[in-house]
Structure 1
Amino acid sequence: MTPDELAPARVDLVIVGGGFTGCAAALEAARTGATVALLEAETIGHGGSGRNVGLVNAGLWLPPETVIAEMGDAPGRRLLAALSAAPGQVFDLIAREGIACEATRAGTLHLAHSAAGLRDLRERCRQGGALGAPLALLDAAEAARRTGSAAFHGALFDPRAGTVQPLAYARGLARAARAAGARLHERAPVAAIARKDSGWEVTANGTVLRADALLLATNAYHGAAAGMPRPRFTPVHYSQFATAPLPDALRARILPGGEGCWDTATVMSSFRMDRAGRLVLGGIGDVSGPGAWFHTRWARRKLRALFPELPSVPFSHHWQGRIAMTSDHIPKLLDIGPRGFAIFGYSGRGIAPGTALGTAAARALLGAGPEALPLPVRTGHSEHLPALRAAYYECGATLTHALLPLPKP
């Protein structure tokens, strides 16, 4: 996609960040007839959106009763209802805009890595069912049939969910926003943000944009800029390894139904199959950092433990991305000034929540008000020792990948 030329302008809404949240907001705003400028420091989808696992999940990592306990009854139920519907919002948007992103709505499998994990899934199933979620608890035999692996004690199936190619989805949102009239500017890092003349003044590449409303949607890839509040979160790395395309016989046995998967382990892992037949395996840890050798070795061992028939299939690609983790694992929507929001902290659940919250934020900023938001607006958020917590997560993932034996199938 060829970016638009950046020039001084007055617009209704300036968005900083070209991931799921920012692009969904730009699309919604432009479709309502608002003038929109989106500024991305790198390229669309460069950050966590393009490096995402690709699972379009409903809800958060937390069990529903924990969300309600953290947020309060009415706000918690409001957010859970919005995120229950969010996968449908994603797939409807993909269909409406004709986004080619390998969209597969075949559900997801939350896999029990142990007997304790299965007990956790049983409780999640109970809590979700009480709120009307169409979840199904699967036994070990059914989990093995659906995944092609005998390594799991059972699974929680969520038919609301699915998978996408995340970078293609982010870029598809951007193309749809541009077609609707939004102006998208890549390689445009923001240098300064200020309030001026009852609006916002945003400077990027020496060019000043003025806007009535502002949305900061940088999440875990926030850059320093004068006057721009820094979201507080713990950065956690997640790395992924893609095999070469599998032979047809193996593709027919591994995830034959097309579900996306992740497990209940504390140092969690995930896997899904892409359209070309590559198995994409992911795990917590930074494959570009000091622990790279351990994470890569773990990926090979994990693949062998899950699918013994794949020991000779090479990994053809690997990459890593940053997650903005909050201590309570609930996204944050901050009031940063008159008609100004910052959204961040998806804790690894970016696709559906980012789409839903970005869309809602655009509506709220352009006149619908706070009633359009499924998440309460806060005036601030802090995290305790985020750098130390980030080191703890990476050290824990590296030690786990280096020392702990993998379960035998």
Structure 2
Amino acid sequence: MTFENAQNLWHQTCAEQVEAPVLSSDVTVDLVVIGGGYTGCSAALHAAQMGASVCLLEAEEIGHGGSGRNVGLANAGLWLPPAEIRKHMGDGPGDRLVSLLADAPRLVFDLIARHGIACEAVQNGTLHCAHSPAGFKDLQVRHTQLQSSGAPVDLLDAEETAARTGSDAFYGGLFDPRAGTIQPLSYARGLARAAVQAWAQVYQNSPALRIQHDGDVWHVETAGGTVRAKALIHATNAYHRDLASSAPEYVPVHYFQCATDPLPEALRATILPGGEGCWDTGLIMTSFRMDEAGRLVIGAMGNLGHAASDIHRAWVRRKLIELYPELREVPLGQGWHGRIAMTSDHIPKITAIGPRAYAVHGYSGRGIGPGTVFGKGMAEALITGDDMRLPIPAIDAYHEWMTSARQIFFETGATLTHLFKARF
């Protein structure tokens, strides 16, 4: 079984393509966007729809980073429950962010429908599954807070959760009907394709090598040309390259996934029959969902690129059998991993990196909805000059502490958990 990123299921099943050549000339635009993930593509699309001239630069291919490697759960909100967001941000900004991200799935699925993005979109909700009695208590707290914020969520007992998941491994669940699943790489490339159709210029394999402001406009240099722009958005998140002027500070956390071969119809009828996407309450979280062809995609925190990664690989099979004993003999055909930009408070950060310029990072594993919302908000703020369009207030700088040590801590914790857990 191969777990290289070349075995990324999303690359194999991506139905969207975008014409994005290498930048080979000098360009002058209203807005330059660096980064071709959800944030950058959303920013480019929305700015172009407002009538602005836009140039997007992606160092690799569109969706190369986390946007083409994640689980594909289009959730409402962040990992944090609403009260924790307000605690960190204050009531006013916290209420605004909670409200915007509560509506994030609607924005995502509306964009998919409006632009005909072929990304296996299923808006049948998500299930946050309690892996223990303590996990169910956490879901009860989240349920109360979410309902008080107006979210239409339902708390499910163990029996109902088993009926919806097809597994009796959980003590209950929290169902959110606003959310759903997508083919994540197809969504990113579909946004880029829609941006091109709105007359944005999109270039890939065109890394930004130098960024500077001359007192009037921004200059972004690549190997093949230079982009001059009145405004700039830096949206590279956990896949930032060596551009010190806007380098984000975060804790890199890896997340890996594996996919079964397509399941027989009889099994598909009993495993996630309603099409929900799922994750559990474990500290080292497990996610699982079904794709359009009936593959079960299962993932967890961990890096498949180091010497001890065989521990993660062995755990996948054990966890799959723990959840669904009937899949004991089903092959796992693909495996891949990506990076998450984690902040200490699990809240994204927008930094003002110069005149009419923003950088954003730190979705902490919730990139699809927040990335789409933040890209749209930053584009609107820069094009209109109204910073109230930003989803959160911009700050001058953001600093994290002991990022390398904490990265090692998270990966060691994931490795040890996977070494000892789900053993029979």
Give the structure-1-normalised TM-score.
0.98
Separation (CA, whole Å) in 1 of partners of 2:250 and 2:93: 22
Separation (CA, whole Å) in 1 of partners of 2:418 and 2:21: 44
Residue in 1 that maps onto 2:9: none
Long gaps (5+) in structure 2: 1-17
Q: Does structure 2 retain, via aligned residues, the 8 Å contact 1:140–1:155?
A: yes
Alpha carbons of 1:9 and 1:197: their partners in 2 closer, same or farther (altered >3 Å)? Answer: farther
Residue in 2 that maps onto 1:374: 391
Following superposition of structure 1 onto structure 2, how do residues 4-15 of structure 1 map, counting pairs within 5 Å? 4-6=21-23, 7-15=25-33
Residue in 2 that maps onto 1:44: 62
Shift of 1:158: 0.4
Residues 1:167 and 2:191 aligned together: no
Pick aligned residue for 1:357 from 374, 377, 381: 374
Q: Does structure 1 retain, via aligned residues, the 8 Å contact 2:76–2:369?
A: yes
Following superposition of structure 1 onto structure 2, how do residues 279-294 of structure 1 map, counting pairs within 5 Å? 279-294=296-311
Separation (CA, whole Å) in 1 of partners of 2:82 and 2:20: 41
Separation (CA, whole Å) in 1 of partners of 2:40 and 2:81: 27
Q: Does structure 1 retain, via aligned residues, the 8 Å contact 2:253–2:340?
A: yes
Shift of 1:196: 1.2
Task: Tell me the number of residue pairs that the alignment of Structure 1 and Structure 2 aligns.
Answer: 406
Residue in 2 that maps onto 1:205: 223
Deviations 1:278-305 (A, max 9, x none): 0000100011222310001000000000
Residue in 1 that maps onto 2:315: 298
In structure 2, what residue type is equivalent to 1:3?
Answer: A
Q: Does structure 2 retain, via aligned residues, the 8 Å contact 1:237–1:285?
A: yes
Residue in 1 that maps onto 2:8: none
Query: Secondary structure, in 3 states, of the residue corresponding to 1:365?
Result: helix
Shift of 1:377: 0.8
Residue in 2 that maps onto 1:256: 273
Query: Secondary structure, in 3 states, of the residue corresponding to 2:326?
Result: coil
Pick aligned residue for 1:241 from 258, 281, 300: 258
Superposition CA RMSD, Å: 1.0
Alpha carbons of 1:405 and 1:5: their partners in 2 closer, same or farther (altered >3 Å)? Answer: closer
Separation (CA, whole Å) in 2 of partners of 1:23 and 1:16: 9
Shift of 1:376: 1.1
Shift of 1:405: 3.9
Q: Does structure 1 retain, via aligned residues, the 8 Å contact 2:22–2:224?
A: no
Residue in 2 that maps onto 1:388: 405
Q: Does structure 2 retain, via aligned residues, the 8 Å contact 1:4–1:183?
A: no
In structure 2, what residue type is equivalent to 1:219?
Answer: N
Separation (CA, whole Å) in 1 of partners of 2:411 and 2:104: 30
Give the share of equivalent positions with the same residue, in percent.
56
Following superposition of structure 1 onto structure 2, how do residues 98-117 of structure 1 map, counting pairs within 5 Å? 98-117=116-135
Moved over 6 A (4+): none
Shift of 1:206: 4.3
Residue in 1 that maps onto 2:146: 128
Pick aligned residue for 1:319 from 319, 336, 340: 336
Give the structure-2-normalised TM-score.
0.94
Separation (CA, whole Å) in 1 of partners of 2:37 and 2:369: 12
Separation (CA, whole Å) in 2 of partners of 1:205 and 1:396: 41
Deviations 1:257-292 (A, max 9, x none): 000000000000100000000000010001122231
In structure 2, what residue type is equivalent to 1:87?
Answer: P
Instruction: Report the more deviating stretch, 177-186 or 204-213.
Output: 204-213
Shift of 1:205: 1.2
Following superposition of structure 1 onto structure 2, how do residues 82-161 of structure 1 map, counting pairs within 5 Å? 82-161=100-179
Residues 1:185 and 2:203 aligned together: yes
